Chain A
């Protein structure tokens, strides 16, 4: 198909970057000859390999976190019931006779959240797709620093490994919720999981932060400095815009989480009182005085809120690309989309207080956060409407990736609107920390980001593994996943509106919640269905990796540069010169053209306007 990229190799394009790459390429050249298994597949500095390493690690972590969710969903639907499955997963200590231990329940919800938020949807999503697509789509031979990139993965690996190890310590893993608010997380006497389990959690997060910073700095520098000739910022695919802003958010906010964790480590181990004051626990009055747990919350959510955009923006970026390619239409309102990403990125830093309306903060401060938080709905709405308009009068090709991308738009809307309730501090009073919140954030960022990630996997699988995933299994996987996602999280809103708090081991202590048990059963059934659907995906993923039919060079008829690389993975991505870019990436179905796509490497005709910089 679109293999006309060779025709456009403009050899005199010796820009500064290209020169740098010639040298870089030379180093690699030596290296390539002595490539061993270790340097090629383990300590690889190649962005494509690192991307696949991130993806496979994230898939494994996602499976662990998903199994956890099934265990605690069984407990919530049929509390006290004996399940061989629970005993098999949790062992005799935490799941004696197949009944889940209350402390283990707390550990499960904590680690499920931590793994999903950090390992799967931050490390897994950005790590996989920023690594894969940034060099490919901007026309670079690799990341700015391959070595830092390699470190980024291996710190991520260490972080994931530490988190998994923490599940096996004697007193259990961290159990204070994924937000690990002190004093609960700071004092071993407060709960068993706050001992060694919590220490390992903090170690794991420290590794994660290092990984995230190494990766993020690399992404930013690569996007700014290593775009190929003609790849102006206004010609970047929206994927790259999303990854770029995401990386900036991460670099600005993760260090704050690090300081937050560091102070917690001090409080836990060195007797300081940053977060502790006036505490009497375990029959003893602690000497710590003058600290405030609220300080922790401020530091945590200063990362925590940008974090949810660190999760969702890459998913939206992938969706933008996939929807445009498969609708065979330019993305509607490219500039508005870029502006929205930037606006969301900026606003994400001034809304963290909406997690803390009920901490006793001054009501005036609360009002300010209501205002800033609700403002974020505007750029989000623009994005949603632009996606819908991109579909209008399209020629939609329902690849599995496209199905997931459209589903993301749906869940992004459905989860987004309930955010309006939670952002409204007066209404938050009664739904704060209830299942309404759980439903909201799972739909708007959990499900949406997972759908975006799966869309990305189906779409770029041919680029990553040079093979296709099975289409029909993809369809089956999609419909089961989409149906069960709504089946799990839509009814959950009602449980929240009925006042059920989150993180309850069961609700039977309160007669007022008795009649809600049917809803919990329904939710768990859909959760099991959804988990089964992921088995289909796992099979398809790993089977196709080795046995799937070989892909063609540009299977979806895309304009972006990654589809101009040859059908094998080589150092430097392009043999010979780097491609030169002449147009924006969204010239799909342009009138007067023979094909319904024009790769970015095709020069503009005389008098033709570049779609990205319109007048």
Chain B
């Protein structure tokens, strides 16, 4: 299924863009920085072309996709979570090529401030688009009768948490994101750059809880899983 997203649906919140730029929460933001981010937001709204693709996949087929080229960590969250899933959906989202082209152009024209501000805006927006897709998948599942009050649909991506980036090849072969203009290069990186791919795993909320104590966690600076685990705990409490 092909999806499209309105610019407002993927527009990144200002605090998240500031955080992406290394400005700590609560820090005073000078007017010139605010103006810079306004310019970046306006360019973003003008250039973004957000789209997505999502397809169901069986547990057996996903096992083969996840196995990929056999380079995953011996133990990983996806390996533990996926077998307990009730629904699996492969997905890819992209913000389109014009944004990345504009970032390159600004760098080439010696405007690093707007280039980096736009790049940061787009990076946050790519995650917003993936979040939006994740919400749509969960809503569609529920509309289709997935009746689990304690259920959650969360995404996992190659390149993170022990799922080797070479897994992109098997994922792309199964999903065919070329339909939305996303391709892989020789290093398994996506073009356009501001794209996210992976699997949405739907099942009881509890299956998504895992201790961030895998060997690769020692080197991980992103630590976004901790935010997700906190959000899950909050959701479970409601």
Chain B binds chain A: no
